[in-house]
């Protein structure tokens, strides 16, 4: 018997028509089901067989976590799971997205495959972000990217970047992105960075609207440590993790990004094809005339 946890974006109107039959379907197949306390409220009263846990504790009680929403919901789910080895199955209700590959129309087909064991697990890199400021070091985690930017300041941000003790460059730009392969199709892509296949062990450093036309993205090994420092006169510097956790830092702070020693696990079904997802999401269309195969 599998135990499914459900995390969802409760702001999605379609969620409330999907959730009750989904839960009933799992219960009918002798699966145990747990939902977060955010879901068990005004819009949905779960059956008594369903367990209700806080977002901080639900991961302790499930074998698979269903993340219903878009890629942003998966990133939130990844933070809930943390270092636990619970895989995520993303059910897609968002717009442009690359992580939640199961559309709502295929929800029950996908769940049956998972129950029958017809799936594989794909590991995705996690970033550890060491923020040194005020005489202490705090560590945060991100799946997509780490962004430093000029915050509310109208001035360009001056940063010095070191890669494993070697100076890379001094950037004058709106900000700087350090992305995993997973995050290469997020903000980094919008800023002109490359698409990096998720299986690669690499990190991408991408300046945001750089003042110099010669400033370009660079891809470095995931074993490197990327250190970002700021000019003393900088004001309004901000640090953002996965586009969801954001706070201001001062110019004396030092941001070190490195590969974490753990991954998140994504459920992938037999017909999952990353390049097909790319073609669909990026709007790549057609075939060259005369090309066969």
12 touches 43 (CB < 8 A): no
- Six-digit token string for 263: 């991954």
Q: How many CB atoms lie within 10 A of CB 36?
A: 20
Q: What is the rounded CA–CA span in Å between residue 153 and residue 94?
A: 32
Beta bridge partners of 136: 133
Q: What is the rounded CA–CA span in Å between residue 131 and residue 237?
A: 13
Task: Please identify which residue in the block is written with the tokens 């990844």.
Answer: 78
Whether 174 is a known active-site residue: answer no
Q: What is the rounded CA–CA span in Å between residue 77 and residue 229?
A: 30
Which one of 30, 71, 149, 174 is the catalytic residue? 71
**Buried b or exposed e, range 53-77, using 16+ CB within 10 angstroms:** beeeebbeebebbbbbbbbbbbbbb
Among 223, 229, 228, residue whose Cα is nearest residue 259 = 223
- Enzyme catalytic residues: 71
């Amino acid at each position: 018997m599998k135990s499914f946890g459900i995390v969802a974006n409760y702001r999605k109107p379609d969620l409330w028509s999907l959730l009750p039959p989904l839960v009933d379907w799992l219960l009918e197949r002798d699966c145990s089901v747990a939902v977060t306390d955010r879901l068990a409220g005004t819009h949905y009263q779960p059956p008594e067989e369903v367990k209700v846990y806080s977002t901080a504790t639900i991961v302790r009680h499930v074998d698979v976590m269903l993340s219903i929403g878009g890629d942003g919901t998966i990133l939130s789910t990844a933070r809930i799971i943390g270092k636990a080895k619970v895989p995520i199955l993303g059910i897609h209700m968002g717009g442009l997205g690359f992580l939640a590959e199961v559309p709502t129309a295929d929800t029950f087909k996908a769940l049956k495959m998972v129950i029958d064991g017809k799936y594989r697990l794909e590991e995705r890199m996690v970033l550890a972000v060491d923020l040194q400021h005020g005489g202490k070091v705090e560590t945060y985690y991100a799946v997509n990217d780490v962004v430093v930017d000029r915050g509310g300041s109208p001035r360009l941000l001056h940063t010095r970047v070191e890669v494993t003790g070697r100076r890379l460059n001094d950037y004058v730009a709106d900000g700087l992105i350090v992305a995993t392969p997973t995050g290469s199709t997020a903000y980094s892509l919008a800023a002109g960075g490359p698409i990096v296949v998720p299986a690669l062990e690499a990190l991408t450093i991408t300046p945001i609207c750089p003042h110099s036309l010669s400033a370009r993205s660079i891809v470095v090994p995931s074993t490197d440590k990327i250190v970002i420092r700021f000019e003393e006169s900088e004001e309004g510097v901000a640090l953002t993790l996965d586009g969801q956790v954001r706070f201001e830092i001062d110019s004396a702070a030092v941001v070190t990004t490195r590969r974490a020693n753990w991954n998140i696990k994504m459920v992938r079904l037999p017909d999952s094809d990353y390049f097909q997802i790319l073609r669909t999401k990026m709007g790549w269309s057609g075939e060259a005339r005369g090309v066969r195969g």
